[in-house]
Amino acid sequence: MSSSPDQTVPDTSAIAQPVLEARGVTKRFAGVTALSGIDFAVRPGESHALMGENGAGKSTLIKVLTGVHQPDDGELVWEGSPVKFARPLDAQRRGVSTIYQEVNLIPLMSVAQNIYLGREPRNRIGLIDYSQMFADARTLLTTYGIDIDVKRPLRSLALGVQQMVALARAVSINAGVVIMDEPTSSLEAREVDTLFSVIGILRRQGIAIVYVSHRMDEIYRVCERVTVLRDGRVVHVGDLADLPRMELVSLMLGRSVANVKGRGVTAFGETRESDAPPVLVATDLSRKHQLEGVGLEIRPGEVVGLGGLLGAGRSETLKALAGVMQLDRGTVAVDGKQVRSGSVPAAIRAGIVMLPEDRKSEGIIPNLSVRDNIVLAALPRLSRAGFSSTKNQDAVVDVFMRRLRIKASSPDQQVSELSGGNQQKVMIARWLAMNPKVLLLDEPTRGIDVGAKAEVQALIDELAAEGLAIVLVSSEVEEVVEGSARVIVLRDGRVETELTGADVDEEHLLAALAGDGSGDPK
């Protein structure tokens, strides 16, 4: 596969009727609009990228296209006539196949059995004709340049090959549209090449591909058109060749390159750079498929932003620092002393604490009180001989509830009854009670209301001013830019570049996110 869309694919996109269309599709969940008036169309033989950040509506749109969800408004159109997919099977029968990042096949069955599951060739007396099935499977896979023993159980094959089998099964059932959701996230480079050549073959057969990925390089390599979603709306449809990377990134993030505004959107004040010796030094953090040699240094009193698109390795870097993730390689040191990797208690003892991204599943203990949630990590320090001291706890709880302005009827109120912003403050209090040296914040203002957001942002400033070293991950560009003194930009699990001083602005960040600095697509 060359670096440009395959030349032998006929350019039908301009003339052919779309094979699958969404017209004005709107989808609401419990009052929240996930999709609003989406128009989306793929034509036969076209490879169409669907782009957008977290919460843009990509997955919802895919679920509507595949019959998992039904649109509240608007309609789906198949080859010019309206269709309704009441359930996933309807969509599959019509010709919409989906390849997920995890393979949805039966691991213990043979490759051939998996391909023909539920539609096995029969002999005269109605039993499965295995020799026919094996021969058919072999022929089918050879068409896509895959040469494997079709009698082997599926799970004995590499993940990439399994995915090819899933793909072969999908297109052999019926060939209309194949939706690929992050198909390469667990593939080796060589397997990616095979996948792309298969995509080329499919397109020559007139099959439309909807390709979802966060990897810019892949998108530009394999797709010719793109639809960009943001906040449940289509913000751009067009040819990828006409769209510089930087523009694509700014479309996804909703920041126009041309009119990047000045400061003042967030509650962050002036940021300062520090020249104190670093409190945290991490080198060569690596984990297969996730991180590749990430290194960083954080000084006391500075806020360092981690930039990057979804899947770039920001959360993974924090998890590596906090001892949550096992590493293949790499070291973390605090004040020159190495921290045992892969151990949360060790990281906490060293003074590294992390506010996790998912407050609900990784942060709060819902049925415990505000008090118990705040003192959770500090409990051993606040206890004497294993007995918890209400007096010691009250002192801590009181200080942080007042300082962070946590609004609760009393410290004994159940934490799940608080608003998202107050829950987040409880989480921050839990960590501040540990007197940390390094505070890792993963999306500290996600899902909390505007007022609480400003408070949290102001608090981050305040904590840094008091000498805490802070690493900030946020999917909001202005939060990273205005909150951080430096920004380390990650891409595909590597450190792409570092922005310092006057370079910490949206323009430079967007350029770094796009990954080529020049804004040129190729």
Partner 1 sequence: MTQGTVTIALPRRAAMLSVLQRYGVYLAILLILLFNLVATPHFFELDNFRTQFVQVVPVLIVALGMALVIGTEGIDLSVGGVMAMSAAVVPLYIGYGFLPAVLVAVVAGTLIGVVNGAMVAFIGVQPIVATLSLMVAGRGLALLIANEQLVSVTDPGILALGRDSLVGAVPYSVIVAIVLVLVIALVVNRTTFGKQLVAIGGNRRAAALSGLPVKRILLLVYILCAALASIAGIIGTARLGASVPSTLGNLIELAAITAVVVGGTPLTGGQVKIAGTVAGALLLQFISATLIKHNVPDAYSQIFQAAIILIAVYIQRGRAVTR
Strands 387-388 and 438-442, bridge-based pairing: unpaired
Q: In what order do the strands lie in the sheet with 352-355?
A: 352-355, 438-442, 469-473, 303-307, 486-491, 494-500
The candidate with the shortest Cα–Cα distance to 412, out of 404, 421, 428, 401, is 401
Query: Near partner 1 by CB under 8 A, which window of 145-153, 207-215, 236-244, 346-354?
Result: 346-354
Cα–Cα distance, 221 to 369 (Å, whole number) = 52
Whether 496 contacts 515, CB under 8 Å: yes
Q: Does 517 bind partner 1 (CB under 8 A)?
A: no
> Which of these segments, 56-64, 145-153, 344-352, 395-403, binds partner 1 (CB under 8 A)?
344-352
Q: In this chain, which of 11, 39, 149, 417 binds partner 1, going by CB under 8 A?
A: 417
The pair of three-digit structure tokens given for residue 231, joined into one six-digit string: 């906040």
Min CB(190)–partner 1 separation in Å: 34
Two tokens, residue 201:
């073959």
> Given candidates 207, 210, 253, 418, which one binds partner 1 under the rule CB under 8 A?
418
* Strand extents, DSSP E, 128-259: 177-181, 208-212, 225-230, 233-239
**Contact characters 419-458, partner 1, x per CB under 8 A:** x-xx-------x----------------------------
Say whether 267 sits in a helix, a strand or coil.
coil
Closer of 11 and 417 to partner 1 (Cβ)? 417
Q: 349 CB contacts (<8 Å, ≥6 apart)? A: none
Least Cβ distance, residue 191 to partner 1 (angstroms): 31
Q: Is residue 363 involved in binding partner 1 (CB under 8 A)?
A: yes
Q: Other CB atoms closer than 10 Å to residue 267's CB: what's the count?
A: 20
Smallest CA-to-CA distance from 426 within 483, 479, 363 is with: 363
Please tell me the distance from the alpha carbon of residue 97 to that of residue 91, in angstroms, as a whole number: 8
**Residue 501 CA, distance from chain mean position:** 28
Choose the stretch contacting partner 1; rule: CB under 8 A; options: 27-35, 43-51, 238-246, 370-378: 370-378
Per CB under 8 A, the list member of 12, 174, 331, 388 interacting with partner 1 is: 388
Smallest distance from partner 1 to CB 326, Å: 13
Asked if residues 257 and 477 have their Cβ atoms less than 8 Å apart, the reply is no
User: Which position among 407, 447, 494, 516 is part of the footprint of partner 1 (CB under 8 A)?
Assistant: 407
Q: Is 364 in the site for partner 1 (CB under 8 A)?
A: yes
CB of 285: closest distance to partner 1 in angstroms? Answer: 18
Amino acid, single-letter form, for residue 91: A
376 is an interface residue for partner 1 by CB under 8 A: yes
Choose between 256 and 416: whose C-beta lies nearer to partner 1. 416
The answer to whether the beta carbons of residues 394 and 435 sit under 8 Å apart is no
Task: Give which of 350, 376, 351 is closest to 363, Cα–Cα.
Answer: 376
Residue 352 C-beta: closest distance to partner 1, Å = 10
- Minimum distance of partner 1 from residue 347's CB (angstroms): 8
Find the DSSP H helices in 272-313: none
One character per residue 302-331, x = contact with partner 1 (rule: CB under 8 A): --------------------x-x-------
Sheet of 291-298: strand order equals 291-298, 280-287, 329-334, 337-339
Min dist CB 304 to partner 1, Å, is: 21
Tokens 């789906």 correspond to what residue?
76
Query: What is the smallest separation between the CB atom of 334 and partner 1, expressed in angstroms?
Result: 15
The sheet with strand 233-239 has its strands ordered as 96-99, 177-181, 208-212, 47-51, 225-230, 233-239
Is position 104 an interface residue for partner 1 (rule: CB under 8 A)? no
Q: Please, which residue, 122 or 360, has the CB nearer to partner 1?
A: 360
> Closest CB to partner 1 among 210 and 322?
322
Stretch that binds partner 1, among 4-12, 297-305, 361-369, 510-518 (CB under 8 A): 361-369
Q: Which one, 113 or 369, has the nearer CB to partner 1?
A: 369
361 binds partner 1 (CB under 8 A): yes
Candidates 28-36, 84-92, 382-390, 484-492: pick the segment binding partner 1 (CB under 8 A).
Answer: 382-390
Can residue 339 be called a binding residue for partner 1 (CB under 8 A)? no
398 vs 449, beta carbon nearer partner 1: 449
- DSSP letters, 435-468, are --SEEEEESTTTT--HHHHHHHHHHHHHHHHTT-
**Start-to-end CA span in the chain (Å):** 15
- For partner 1, the closer of residues 455 and 506 by Cβ is 455
Q: Which residues bind partner 1 (CB under 8 A)?
A: 322, 324, 344-345, 347-349, 354, 356, 361-368, 372, 376-377, 379-380, 383, 386-388, 407-409, 413, 416-419, 421-422, 430
